[in-house]
Chain A
Amino acid sequence: MAEITLRNIVKQYGDGYPAVNDVSLDIADGEFMILVGPSGCGKSTLLRMIVGLEDITSGDLLIGGQRVNDKAPRDRNLAMVFQNYALYPHLSVFENIAFPLRLRGKEPEDEIQRKVRAAAETLELTEHLDRKPANLSGGQRQRVAMGRAIVRNADAFLFDEPLSNLDAKLRGQMRTEILRLQRRLGTTTVYVTHDQTEAMTLGDRVAVLRKGVLQQVASPRELYEQPVNMFVAGFIGSPPMNFVPALVQDGELVLPFVRFPMSDGLRAAVAERSLVMVGLRPERFEDAALLDAAALQGGVRFRTRVDVIEWLGNEQYAYLPYDVPAGTDRQLQELARELDSERMRNQLVVALDPQSRIGADSDAELWFDPRRMHVFDPASGDNLTLSLAGAGAGVG
């Protein structure tokens, strides 16, 4: 058990490109920390620097208060689960799990037997102990890899996208399995993923990375409610947050489909800007027809054209095309590219109650609460509404 501290960690490759740039992070003892971001954001590099498979260009890495920058992986006492499991194909499941113990060579044979059987028991691998990894299913291999990690009382577990090779159903099962295991053992865990469901469900805290730079470290709830910038806002949440360019005119916000007066707090936050980006989560919209008068009071209503409806049973998504003011389109394109998504057209995605009777290709009246929207600076992407009580955060 140990806390892991990263101080101004930099990883620069031969060509001078910083894959990880000035990352500082405190991972508490027993904490489940997620590193998340689109591919190429440096999250795996960061993990491999912690375990010692990559050299650290500059900065300090402390495990349990000790600087370990120059220690070999075997001296750091960390356990890692690789994306492709990296099981030893020539060894049986038992020997795979026993491998770290045998390398240490300190325990007597019956102690090794006991520990491996205990680990196998925990992971329900007992009946497979004599088999070779090649004869196991993906989920079983995954569990063997985890067995190898838990058998040796490591100071911390490191996971490198451990579930990405499994099919969707198994992924869900293994996710809860990992969570249960971590809660029971209480071992510090760093978990790399690009899947935001894993990030949100597993982590005590989540660190969002973009191009090697740490964007925000916060609990999943805080990331969702109070993203510090457009990147985090767009990365967390599915379907992703809508970004709508809005003009500021006479104390009113002018969106392509509605205009409404700003609150005093919002007016102060926006200050002199004439153009801002408004972030609206799809699930913040409601079908006005389903709300009573009291609920309608606090928000803004608008009529617009619904293009396509996707009905999923537990909810439905409506797609509403709109035109944007000239000059803002390019910025939206750029953001979409960074978030690894293809931005086809300017449209609002709205998650509606499945009871809503709004049909495709028709006009609909929708409602949202402006106190729960986010407003971003169009140039820097910073969230201007972070400091506002009730805006976005707090209410949810």
Chain B
Amino acid sequence: MDGRRTSNWWSLWGALVLVWALFPLAWMVSLSFKDPATFRSGSPRFWPESWTWENYRTVFDNSLFTAALRNSFGIALIATVLSVVVAMFAAYAIARLDFPGKNILLSLALAIAMFPQAALVGPLFDMWRGLGIYDTWIGLILPYLTFALPLSIWTMSAFFRQIPWEMEQAAQVDGATPWQAFRKVIVPLAAPGVFTTAILTFFFCWNEFLLASSLTSTDSARTVPAALSFFTGQSQFESPVTAVMAASVVVTIPVVILVLLFQRRIVAGLTAGAVKG
């Protein structure tokens, strides 16, 4: 009886939280389907009076958005792949080897993760212009890599630590070189960790706004979150809100798909360091 009542309470709380979290999302979807000319009617309603695809058409006709979408995919993918590869080797070394300065390295990584990014925007802006990589893909990939690596290293080293060392020793006795042991035994076993890290890194790069808006100036490297802030209506008397919402829905879709596909792995990855290792 008692357990039943508790679980009812949990359901109630769950429903409340769900509404709280989904309301802005629903509003976003609803706005994206409203008519841009008349969505501010005298008697506002939550759902559109007439559903229209017009905003989506506007967004995809806009070269600002399509270029940004291309940039976002490119930059996020490259940064993710690089970050995962580098983090994999770093995490393996941290999990397996005992070298002087290991703890300093880990604390430094953590410090980088905690460093306020806003403080870096000014110096980076000047440096990037000096180096000639302002408003380029590489100019965004570099800082993304820097900020994504600490989290990746921490998550993956937690995964590597869970793999018994005997696995590797057995492989070595069976005739594997250290590289073969890593590739044929350790990497397949750490695959869930690699996946999780990759997804988390991708989200971070995909959603990042501050650096994306300050280190870019044209279509050549601007990512979607930054591009959205430059949206204008078709005339200056028309508010771009509905188009912005349509664009937001478009960029949210890949995130939602990824989360739905890998949600169990992501949860496992987020808690991997908490219980073990």
Contacts and interface: CB of A to CB of B under 8 A. Distances in A.
A53 interface: yes
Contact of A79 (B167, B173, B189): B173
A103 B180 contact: yes
B277 interface: no
Contacts of B177: 72, 74
Nearest to A87: B170
Contacts of B166: 82, 84, 86
Contacts of B188: 90
B123 interface: no
Given A84-B164, A86-B166, A99 B174 contact: yes
A88 B180 CA distance: 14
A72 B188 CA distance: 24
Interface residues of A, number: 21
Interface in A112-168: 148, 152
Contacts of B189: 88-90
B175 A80 contact: no
A362 to B, nearest CB: 54
A78 B174 CA distance: 8
B220 interface: no
A100 B169 contact: no
A100 B188 CA distance: 17
A104 interface: yes
B88 to A, nearest CB: 17
Interface in B162-190: 164, 166-167, 169-177, 180, 184-185, 188-189
Interface string A51-80: 111000000000000000000111000111
Contact of B164 (A80, A86, A100, A148): A86
Interface residues of B, number: 17
A141 to B, nearest CB: 13
Given A74-B177, A103-B180, A86 B170 contact: yes
B173 A80 contact: yes
Contacts, number: 56
A52 B189 CA distance: 24
Nearest to A99: B174
B172 A53 contact: yes
Nearest to A158: B173
Contacts of A86: 164, 166-167, 169-170
Contacts of A99: 171, 174, 184
A86 B173 CA distance: 11
A366 to B, nearest CB: 50
A136 to B, nearest CB: 16
B164 A73 contact: no
A222 B177 CA distance: 43
Contact of A72 (B167, B172, B174, B184): B172
Given A86-B164, A90-B188, A103-B180, A148 B169 contact: no
Contacts of A89: 189
A104 B169 contact: no
A100 B176 CA distance: 8
A51 B177 CA distance: 15
B175 A103 contact: yes
A78 B173 contact: yes
B167 A73 contact: no
Contacts of A51: 173
A103 B173 contact: no
A53 B185 contact: no
A2 B172 CA distance: 20
A383 B10 CA distance: 73
Contacts of A78: 173
A86 B177 CA distance: 17
Contacts of B180: 103
B170 A74 contact: no
B185 A88 contact: yes
B172 A88 contact: no
Interface in B151-167: 164, 166-167
Contacts of A90: 188-189
Nearest to A102: B184
B175 A74 contact: yes
Nearest to B166: A86
Contacts of B169: 53, 73, 82, 86
Instruction: Tell me which of B167, B169, B175 has the highest count of chain A C-beta atoms within 10 A of its own C-beta.
Output: B175
Nearest to B167: A86
Instruction: Tell me which of B170, B172, B189 has the highest count of chain A C-beta atoms within 10 A of its own C-beta.
Output: B170
Contact of B173 (A53, A84, A88, A104): A53
Nearest to A84: B166
B185 A73 contact: no
B263 to A, nearest CB: 22
A119 to B, nearest CB: 14
Given A89-B189, A90-B188, A90-B189, A82 B170 contact: yes
A234 B47 CA distance: 87
A78 B170 CA distance: 11
Nearest to B163: A89
Interface in B56-91: none
Contacts of B170: 80, 82, 86, 88, 148
Given A88-B185, A90-B188, A103-B180, A74 B172 contact: yes
Interface string B175-218: 11100100011001100000000000000000000000000000
- Pick the 6 closest A-B CB pairs, nearest first: A86-B170, A86-B166, A100-B174, A74-B175, A103-B175, A73-B172
Given A74-B176, A99-B171, A148-B174, 15 more contacts: A53-B172, A72-B177, A73-B172, A73-B173, A80-B170, A80-B173, A84-B164, A86-B169, A88-B167, A88-B170, A99-B174, A100-B175, A103-B171, A103-B175, A148-B170
Interface of A: 51-53, 72-74, 78-80, 82, 84, 86, 88-90, 99-100, 103-104, 148, 152
12 contacts: A73-B169, A74-B173, A74-B174, A78-B173, A82-B169, A84-B166, A99-B184, A100-B175, A103-B175, A104-B175, A148-B170, A152-B174
